[in-house]
Amino acid sequence: MKTFERDDLLFFRFEALPDNGGVGHAVFSRRGGVSRAPFDSLNMSLSVPDERDRVYANRRRVYGLYGRDTNSVVHAHLVHGADVARVTQADNGAWVEHVDGLITDQPGCVLSMNFADCAPIFLYDPVRHAIGLGHAGWKGTVVDLPGAMVRAMAAQFGSRPADLVAAIGPCIGPCCYEVGEAVIDGVRAAFAAPDELLRQNGRPRPHFDLPEANRRNLYNAGVVHIEHSEFCTACRTDLFFSHRAEKGRTGRFGTVFALL
Ligand SMILES: [Zn+2]
């Protein structure tokens, strides 16, 4: 990813995804907002006990980069599932219920989601001019939310998986993601070579490779162009919020994917 600074904001863009007159995207760090500890400072979410006015001020800064505010981007109530919603401009300002993937082919539609360890999934179809934004923690990963997004774009827009450009954003890495029985059982049931994703490396408990599992989900769905941010959110709490590393007392960083 490439690093950008504007005013106090620090954010990132993938090499593989465009940010031009037709499509825009960004992964925001936790820097450049007005929230106080432990939400310092660019917390985008009211699902944590931050002050409402500060969250709205943060959203104005982030969405303002795309000429929007919280009432003119599409949000999702994330539930760690594999449901995907097709949205349009009419959904700008709405909170789409019970989905972890949003897709659109309508210019003027701006997708947003917030994260703290789960993997952001970006999908771009340069042929059909369509985009998708998804949220995959371990539950979304073992139920293949990324594959569901690929199939939804194929069904709704005629996207060919081989045309899609995918990017996996900052998420907790195998360096930090020690997991218990529920995750281990889920990964063993979902993946062909689970031991490659449950890394032991001499440690007492396995550590789940969340980004690699989602790369495999995308690859198994036919996507070949896949970029990964390489940032571990738990290693880099200077840049990102991490639910695991900060023991739940933290905020959520924002992502935006816009079809212009
Ligand atoms: Zn780490």
Question: Could you report the per-residue pLDDT of 77-106, keeping only the tens digit for each?
Answer: 999 999 999 999 999 999 999 999 999 999
Task: Tell me the CA–centroid distance for residue 175 and ligand 1, in Å.
Answer: 4
- Residue 21 above 90 pLDDT? no
Residue-wise pLDDT tens digits, 104-155: 999 999 999 999 999 999 999 999 999 999 999 999 999 999 999 999 999 9
Task: Tell me the CA–centroid distance for residue 245 and ligand 1, in Å.
Answer: 9
Name the percent of the chain lying above pLDDT 90: 96
Cα separation, 148 vs 75, whole angstroms: 19
Nearest to 255 by CA among 22, 75, 128: 75
- Residue 19 above 90 pLDDT? no
Domain ranges of the chain: 2-259
Helices of type H across the chain: 52-64, 138-142, 145-157, 181-190, 194-197, 210-220
Top CATH class, 2-259: alpha beta
Mean pLDDT value across the chain? 97
In the chain the beta strands, taken as DSSP E runs, fall at: 2-6, 9-13, 23-28, 75-76, 84-86, 95-96, 101-104, 109-115, 119-125, 130-136, 165-168, 198-199, 207-208, 225-228, 253-259
pLDDT at 35: 98
Burial (CB count within 10 angstroms: exposed 0-12, middle 13-18, buried 19+), residue 244: middle
Model pTM? 0.97
What number of other Cβ atoms are within 10 A of residue 242's Cβ?
A: 25
Task: Tell me the CA–centroid distance for residue 34 and ligand 1, in Å.
Answer: 26
- Residue 202 above 90 pLDDT? no
Task: Tell me the CA–centroid distance for residue 62 and ligand 1, in Å.
Answer: 26
Task: Tell me the CA–centroid distance for residue 13 and ligand 1, in Å.
Answer: 20
Residues within 5 Å of ion ligand 1 by Cβ? 173, 175-176, 232, 234-235
